[in-house]
Amino acid sequence: MDGQDKVEVSRRTLLGAAAFAGVFGAVLASVPAQAEEAGVTTGPAPDLSALPRKRVELLKPPFVHPHEQIATVGPQVVEFQLVIEEKQLVIDEYGTTVPAMTFNGSVPGPLMVVHQDDYVELTLVNPDTNTMQHNIDFHAATGALGGGGLTLINPGEQVKLRFKATRPGVFVYHCAPGGPMIPWHVVSGMNGAIMVLPRDGLKDGAGKPLKYDYVYYVGEQDFYVPKDADGNFKTYESAGDGYADMLEVMKTLTPTHEVFNGAVGALTGENAMTANVGETVLIVHSQANRDTRPHLIGGHGDHVWATGKFNNPPQIDLETWHIPGGCAGAALYTFLQPGVYAYVNHNLIEAVELGATAHFKVGGEWNDDLMTQVQAPTPIDG
C-alpha cells in the first residue's frame, strides 16, 4: 500500500517519542491511523517532538482566545485544558436553576481555535468534587467516537487526548458517556465548539481572502426543566436528583428554555456583543442537540458556512441560515449601520418566549442612503 514509507518513518520516530512520552505514550499507541487529504497514512503517530508546542488559555464565551487567522508557522501541537464542573446554573431572570454539567464552568464550553494539520492536545480533568463519569467527543476528530472512547474518566481522574485537526471548519464537542447519559449530559450544558481554520485563512467562493475583526462564540442550549404541580420550575440539589424528572421532560422534545450562552439574557444588556460600523464580525454558533436558524435582525450573513465546514464555499447574502442539531456554523458580517441589533433563533417563539436572543451594540455613523425615516409617525391625513 502507498502508506508503506510513512509507516517506516513512524516506527523509527516512535522510539524517540517513547523516550519522553511516559503515560502519554499509551494514548499515542492506541490512536488509530488517520486519513489525510494528501494520501492515507496508517500506523502509529509520527514523531511530534520536533513540532512547536503552544499552550492556550481558553476564554469564557462569547469571547475567544487570541489566535492568528493565517498561520505564520507550520503545524504545531496546541495544548488545551478543560476542567469539568458540575454546578448549579441560573438560567433565567426568575432565578430558575438547573444542576448543570459544564466544561470549564460555562455553557457552552469555551471555543478552541487551531489551524488545519495542528494537533489538538487536550487535558480533560474531572475533579473529585464532581459525582459522575464524563468524557469528550470531538466532531472534529477521527476515530474512537471522536475521542469519547478514550476519555471516559471518573471523579478524581484526568486524561490527555491528542487528535489531528484534519478538516477545516467549526465543530461541536460534547460529553457522551454512553446510553441515556449522552443526551442528558448534553442538555445539561456539556458542549462547546472548536474552530479549525485553514492554514491560509478563510476565503470566499472565488478564493478571495476573508478576514474578521472580532469573533464571537454563541452556544445555543435547550434546557428541559421539570415543573411541580403548581407549574413552578423545580430545583434539585444535584444533577442526579433531577435525572428521572428531566428525562420525562426531555422526551417531550419541548424545551422549557432555549438560550444563548447558558441563560436568558446572557448576551443582552450589559453583556451585549459590540462592534462598529465597518468592522467585520465572525459569529460561530453551535447547537449540540437541536436544529436552529440564526438571523441577525437588521443585518445579514455576508458569507455563511451554515454547516460550518470551510472547504465548502460560503453562501452569500443570507437572511437566515439553518444549523442542524449537532453542528456548528459560522457567519461573517460587516456592520453597515449603527444601532442595536438582535441576533436570534428565528423561530421567534424560541427567541422571545424561550430566550434565544442576543444583542449587538454597534457604534458609528448612520447611513441615510441605506435607510431613512422620510416622515415621522403622524396622525393620518384627512
Partner 1 sequence: MTHTVAHQDKTALLVPIVLLAGLLATIAMQTGAIRPPVVTTSSLAPVTVTIAPRAYSYRAPGEFVRGTATVDGPLVTVDNPAPIEIMKYQVSASDYDRCVAYGACKKAEPRRRGLIDVPVTGVSFNDANEYAKWLSEKTGQTWRLPTIGEWAFAAGSKARDHALDIETKDPAERWLAFYEREAKLGANALATPSPIGTFGENEYGVVDLAETVWEWTATCGSRTTLGQADETLTYLDSCGVRLLEGRHRTPMNAFVRDAQGGGCTIGAPPDNLGFRLVREREWWRAPLDYAVGLLTKATSN
CB of residue 181 vs partner 1: minimum separation in angstroms?
A: 29
118 is catalytic: no
**C-beta of 128 vs 230, nearer to partner 1:** 230
Which of Cu ion, partner 1, none sits in contact with 207, Cβ below 5 to 8 A by type?
none
Please state the φ and ψ torsions of residue 313, each to the nearest 5 degrees. Answer: -65, 140
Cβ neighbours around 238 below 10 Å, total? 12
Q: Which one, of 128, 129, 125, lies nearest residue 156 by Cα? A: 128
Which of Cu ion, partner 1, none sits in contact with 272, Cβ below 5 to 8 A by type?
partner 1
Q: Which residue among the candidates 85, 92, 112, 134 is catalytic per the annotation?
A: 134
The amino acid at 271: N
CB of residue 220 vs partner 1: minimum separation in angstroms?
A: 13
CA–CA distance, 72 with 68 (Å, rounded to integer): 8
CB of residue 247 vs partner 1: minimum separation in angstroms?
A: 25
303 is catalytic: no
CA–CA distance, 367 with 337 (Å, rounded to integer): 6
327 is catalytic: no
Residue with grid cell 454597534, as numbered in its chain: 362
96 is catalytic: no
**C-beta of 35 vs 342, nearer to partner 1:** 342
CB of residue 86 vs partner 1: minimum separation in angstroms?
A: 23
Residue 302: beta bridge partners?
none
67 is catalytic: no
359 is catalytic: no
Residue with grid cell 463519569, as numbered in its chain: 133
Residue 288 contacts Cu ion per CB under 5 A:
no
User: Would you give the DSSP letter of residue 348?
Assistant: H
Q: Helix, strand or coil for residue 181? A: helix
Please state the φ and ψ torsions of residue 153, each to the nearest 5 degrees. Answer: -130, 150
Residue with grid cell 436558524, as numbered in its chain: 293
List residues binding partner 1 (CB under 8 A): 92-95, 232, 259, 264-265, 268-270, 272, 297, 337-340, 342, 344, 348, 351-357, 359, 361-366, 368, 372-379
CB of residue 359 vs partner 1: minimum separation in angstroms?
A: 7
For β-strands 157-164 and 119-126, DSSP reports them as: antiparallel
Binding segment (CB under 5 A) for Cu ion, from list 171-179, 199-207, 233-241, 283-291: 171-179
121 is catalytic: no
Under rule CB under 5 A, which residues in 115-154 are in contact with Cu ion?
A: 134
CA–CA distance, 261 with 318 (Å, rounded to integer): 23
- The residues carrying an active-site annotation are 134, 137, 139, 174-175, 185, 190, 295, 319-320, 346
Interface residues with Cu ion (CB under 5 A) are 134, 175, 185, 190
